[in-house]
Structure 1
C-alpha cells in the first residue's frame, strides 16, 4: 500500500471513530461537568495509547527530541486545553444550531493555514473535494446564526482556530513517533482538566458512566488521534482536514443506525455531497516535474535490499553507518529510522503535500 493510500485509510478510520464518539458522549453529558467529562475522555485516550505502545513494542520510529517540545506543548495547550474550554464556554452562550454551524470552521481554518502558511498544495480537484465535504457538514449541522451572540460565536471560532493550528502543528511533528506524540498530547490534556475539575469542585459522573467515558475516549480520542497523526504524516494537513470533516456525517449515521434517530433529507443530501468529495480526493492524481532542495532530517522510512535502487524511492537512496542496519533483515524490505541526507533531485511522479513535497507550483 502506498503512503497516500495508507494516509487515506488512517484518516477515514480516525473520522469514523471520532464521529461515532460524539453521539455517545451526548447521551452522557448530564452525568457530570463538561470539564470532568472532557478530562475522563482524554484519560481514556491516554490509557489506550499506553496499551497500544505496550502491545506494539519498539517500532522503527524517530522519538521526540528536545527541539520538538515547544511545538508539542503548543499543540497540547491549543488542542487539548484552549479548544475544549473555549468550546464549553461558547456552547453555554449559543443555541445548539449556531454552535453546530460554527464548528465547521475547524476544517476551514485547517485548510487555510495549511495552504497559505504551510505551503501545501490543493489542486482544482482537491479544492472541489474540500468544498463538497464542508458544504455537506454545513448542511448536516442544520444550523443558523439565529439567537447567536458575539461572545459565544467568538469563543466557538477561537476553539476551531485552536484546533486548526493544532492540526498543522501536529502535521509538522508527524515524522516523529506518532504514538509518543498522541500519548503526550492526551496526558497533557487530561491531567490539567481533571485536576482543575477537582479543585473547582465540579461534579464527576458515577462510576459506570465514568468507565463508559474512558472507553469512548480510548477509541474516539486515543486511537483516533494516533490514526489522524498517521494521516497527517502521509497526506498533509489540508487533505487530512477534508477526510476528517466527514466525522459529523459518521456521527449522524451512527445515531440513525444505533441510537435510532430519524432519517432526514439533510442527512441524505449531506451523504451525497460528502461521498462525492471523498471520492474526488481518493481519485486525485497530482503529478508534475518538481525539484527538491538538499535536506537533512530524521524519520521512519523503508528500504528494499533486493531492489536496484534501495527502497524504490529516490529520496531514500543513501549510505548507512553499520549501526543503522544492526539487527535488520538483509534479504527483505524493512523499515528503520535514522538521520539521513536527501540529495538534490528533479523528477516527476504522483505526490501529495507530505514532508518531502513542499515545493512551489
Structure 2
C-alpha cells in the first residue's frame, strides 16, 4: 500500500470506529427509554430520528462522489421489503427483545446480523460463504446459548434473546434486499425507510394504545435514532468513501462490543463467567468475519 493508501486508512479508521460505536450504543440506550415507552412507538421514533439525520447528511452532500442511479420501477418490491422487514418488523422485535433481555445480551446478539446476512445470501442468492463465516456462525450460536441462560437451566430468559435474534434475521433479509439496491444513493434509501417505517410504527402504536408517548420519551427516542442510526450511517458512508467496504465493515463491527461494555456500566450488571465467555466468542466471530472481508477486498 502506498503512502496515499495508508493516509486514507488512517482517515477512515476513526470514521468507521465512530460509526460502529454509535450504532452499538443503540441497544443499551434503547433499553433505558423502552422502560417507559411502548416498544412499537420507540421502534418508529428511532427510525424517524434516522430520517432526520440522513436528511441533513444529504443536504451536506455526504454521498457526493459515490456512484448512484435513481430508483426504477423494478426496485419497488425490494424497497417495500426493505421498509416492511428492515424498518418495521426487525426494529419492533428488537425493542421487545431489549425490554425483556439485559442490555449486555442485546448488544452482543446484534452481531447475529452479520452472520444471518451471509447465511441468507448463501441460501437464497447463491453467494459463496467461506469457512471463516461458518465458524463465526458457530461462535455466535454458542454465544446465543450462553446468553439465553439455557446452559444454566434458565427458561424465562430465553424470550428476549430469541426476539433479538429474530430482529437480526430480519435485518439479514433487509441487508440482502438492500444489496439489490446498491445502485441507489444509500441516504435516499434510508430516508425512505426511516420516514415510511417510522410513521407506520408510530401510527400502529397510536392505533393500539390510543395515545402517543410523552414528549420527553419521544425526544429521547429521536435523539438515539438520530445518533445511533442516522449519524452512524453518515460516518459509515464517509469511511466507505475513504477506505472501502471491507475495511470499513471490519472496524464498524466493534459496535456490539462497545454496547455490551456500556451496558455493564449503565446497568451495573454482575459480570458472570458466561458473560465473559460470550464477550470473547463475539470478539472472535467479529475478527473472523472482518479478516475474511479484508482478504476478499485484497483479491479485488
Look up the match of 1:63.
69
Paired residue for 1:234?
245
- 83-92 vs 156-165, greater mean Cα deviation: 83-92
1:28 positional shift: 1.5
- The yes-or-no answer on 1:45 pairing with 2:56 is no
User: Once the two structures are superposed, what CA deviation does each residue of 1:74-105 show, in whole Å capped at 9, x if it has no partner?
Assistant: 1111111222345567889xx648x9698776
Cα distance, 1:130–1:64 mapped onto 2, change above 3 Å? farther
Aligned ranges 1:165-314 → 2 under 5 Å: 165-225=173-233, 234-235=245-246, 247-284=255-292, 286=295
Q: Residues 44, 177 of structure 1: CA spacing in aligned structure 2 closer, same or farther, 3 A cutoff?
A: same
Q: Give the number of equivalent residue pairs.
A: 281
- Tell me what 1:112 maps to: 119
Q: Is there any run of 5+ residues in structure 1 with no aligned partner, and where?
A: 288-348, 353-361
**What SS does the corresponding residue of 2:126 show, helix, strand or coil?**
coil
| Corresponding residue for residue 342 of structure 1 | none
**Structure 2: tracts of 5 or more residues without a match:** none
Q: Partners of 1:25 and 1:213 in 2: how far apart?
A: 7
CA distance in 2, matches of 1:120, 1:8: 28
2:155 is matched with 146
- Normalised by the length of structure 1, the TM-score is 0.62
Change (3 A) 1:87 1:277: closer
Match of 1:76 in 2: 83
**Residue in structure 1 matched with residue 298 of structure 2 by the alignment:** 350
Q: Which has the higher contact order (CA 8 A, sep 6+)?
A: 2
**How much has 1:210 moved relative to structure 2?**
2.0
Q: Check whether the contact 2:51–2:195 (CA below 8 A) recurs between aligned residues.
A: yes
When residues 153 and 263 of structure 1 are mapped into structure 2, their CA distance, relative to the original with a 3 A threshold, is closer
State how far apart, in whole Å, the 2-side matches of 1:178 and 1:107 are: 18
Whose strand proportion is higher, 1 or 2?
1
Partners of 1:182 and 1:226 within 8 A in 2: no
Q: In 2 relative to 1, CA 274–82 (structure 1 residues): closer, same or farther, beyond 3 Å?
A: closer
Aligned to 1:124: 131
Deviation at 1:48, TM superposition (A): 0.7
Structure 1 pair 280–8 and aligned structure 2 pair: CA distance change class (3 A)? farther
Post-superposition Cα deviations, 1:188-211, rounded to whole Å, max 9, x if no partner, equal 210112222333344433323322
Query: Per the alignment, in what secondary structure is the counterpart of residue 45 of structure 1?
Result: helix
- Which position in structure 2 is the counterpart of 1:322? none
| Candidates 24, 35, 38, aligned match of 1:19 | 24
Local SS of the residue matching 1:31: coil
Query: In 2 relative to 1, CA 174–17 (structure 1 residues): closer, same or farther, beyond 3 Å?
Result: farther
Q: CA RMSD in A?
A: 4.2
Higher helix share: 2
Q: Report the TM-score when normalising by structure 2.
A: 0.72
